[in-house]
Amino acid sequence: MTETQALDRERIRELFDLRSSYNQRMGGDFTADPYPVWHELRESGPVHEGTVHELTGYPGSAIFQGLPEPDRPHYSAFGHAALDAAYRNPEVFASSPDEVDPTGRTDVSNSMLSMAGDQHRRYRALVQPSFVPAKARWWITNWIERTVQELIDGFVADGRAELNVDFCAAIPLLTITGGFGMPPEQALEVRESLHDPMKIVQMLQPIVAARREAPRDDLISVLVEAELKEEDGGTHRLSDAEIYSFALLLLLAGSGTTWKQMGITITALLQRPELLQRVKEDRSLLRPATEEALRWMPTDPMFSRYVTRDVDFHGTRLPAGAVLHLCLGAANRDPSRWERPDEYDVTRTMRASFAFGGGPHICLGMHVARAEIATGIGALLDRLPGLRLDPAAEPPRFIGMYERGVTEIPVLFGQ
């Protein structure tokens, strides 16, 4: 048995099943289809007072970027033009209400996700070279391909599998922890500890120390060796504290999103057997199938910004200090940009969607995510003849409020 297959299946299920208690706080128990409501909201105005989940009719209290923030007024934008304007104006629509101190306590709020302007540019530039399209091969060869093949080895003889948890969930987690030089047996501990940064620090400490001694071909070595440009033109190597907040963001963003998007894409194809067959025969269709799934059903349909000064915005006066939630799920189905926006249509002319955000904070890991999805689905199509949904099992359902994905993907293959 390989290390990958030795991962504890029940622990993976508890951590990754969207209906589990671990995922409830992001609205994992939301089961309705939000898109009809989002269409109505967008049609009645591009910006509304309230949070996305309140306006959608989700009764729970959710935690996500810009939430809960009970002492601030909340607004939500639903139209494509409004989101585009907000992403392009980070001075007015900032990622954080406060100054970010990357040398402070280990927290995502002290990472580049929350930074602005020049500070954000300087920090992002340190890791950008490891995430450009030309680096996709580095990720595939070192981590993605092996993980994908070992996971399939684990169930190929069974003739059946549950692809959401037994396949999709493990791939991005093992890719990003592998990229950090962490062994597979530590991967689940990392995922479990993401809400407890000090535990992550404890795990990273020995790796950071070892890479300072002897760098390797991995991400921690990139961070250890990075030369940060200072405002006065000088440079410095990142401190341990700076590395920890950076690493926490990458572990969180790298392990939490792509598996759900992969599951959404696989489900969209399995629900359309003729299309699945076409993709199998013509692999160039895998890219539009993935991009269309990102537009049609982005796994994270909302991110938010803090309003830095009073502003008239698409017909609504937003006060300084308010939170503006950007419902990119709704904007991705704006009929002024996409015809028949509710249809999953891989033949439509591709236009950039907001699934990976927009503006200076656009997803750093999008090319890694695409490489994981392409390698994962490509390997399933290569190795599992007659791949189909199990007609006797409960069909997959799309669920979740701020973290969307599928319930389960029960499949059969072989004769």
Contacting residues toward ligand HEM, per CB under 6 A: 95, 112-113, 124, 172, 176, 249-250, 253-254, 257-258, 261, 298-300, 303, 355-357, 361, 363-365, 368-369
Nearest CB to ligand HEM, comparing residues 136 and 369: 369
Q: Give the shortest CB-67-to-ligand HEM separation in angstroms.
A: 13
Nearest CB to ligand HEM, comparing residues 152 and 250: 250
Nearest CB to ligand HEM, comparing residues 155 and 242: 242
Q: Give the shortest CB-158-to-ligand HEM separation in angstroms.
A: 28
Give the three-state DSSP class for 395: coil
Q: Give the shortest CB-81-to-ligand HEM separation in angstroms.
A: 17
CA-nearest of 39, 30, 34, 32 to 333 is 39
Count CB-CB contacts under 10 A for residue 299.
25
Give the three-state DSSP class for 173: helix
Residues with Cβ within 8 Å of residue 174, at least 6 apart in sequence: 4, 143, 147, 184, 187
Residue 107 phi/psi, 5-degree rounding, is -165, 150
Q: Give the shortest CB-325-to-ligand HEM separation in angstroms.
A: 11
Q: Give the shortest CB-415-to-ligand HEM separation in angstroms.
A: 34
Contact 92, 309 (CB under 8 A): yes
Residues in the chain: 415
Q: Give the shortest CB-116-to-ligand HEM separation in angstroms.
A: 10
Contact 414, 40 (CB under 8 A): no
Q: Give the shortest CB-300-to-ligand HEM separation in angstroms.
A: 5
CA distance linking residue 2 with residue 59, whole number of Å: 44
Nearest CB to ligand HEM, comparing residues 29 and 372: 372
CA distance linking residue 35 with residue 39, whole number of Å: 6
CA distance linking residue 197 with residue 108, whole number of Å: 9
CA distance linking residue 77 with residue 330, whole number of Å: 9
Q: Give the shortest CB-185-to-ligand HEM separation in angstroms.
A: 21
Q: Give the shortest CB-11-to-ligand HEM separation in angstroms.
A: 21
Give the three-state DSSP class for 188: helix
Contact 162, 408 (CB under 8 A): yes
Nearest CB to ligand HEM, comparing residues 131 and 338: 131
To which H or E segment does residue 37 belong?
A: helix 35-43
Q: Give the shortest CB-28-to-ligand HEM separation in angstroms.
A: 17
**Cα-Cα-Cα-Cα dihedral sign, residues 384, 295, 28, 247:** positive
Q: How many CA atoms lie within 13 A of 310 on its CB side?
A: 1
Nearest CB to ligand HEM, comparing residues 131 and 313: 131
Nearest CB to ligand HEM, comparing residues 341 and 365: 365
Q: Give the shortest CB-34-to-ligand HEM separation in angstroms.
A: 16
Count CB-CB contacts under 10 A for residue 129.
11
Instruction: Scan for tokens 């530590």, then name that residue.
Output: 186
Nearest CB to ligand HEM, comparing residues 173 and 275: 173
Q: Which DSSP string do the residues of 352-391 spell out, in sequence order?
A: --STT--GGGS-TTHHHHHHHHHHHHHHHHHH-TT-EE-T
State which residue has the least CB distance to ligand HEM: 365
Integer CA distances (angstroms), 202 to 72, 105, 106, 189, 244, in order: 35, 14, 11, 11, 10
The tokens of 395 are what?
């069909």
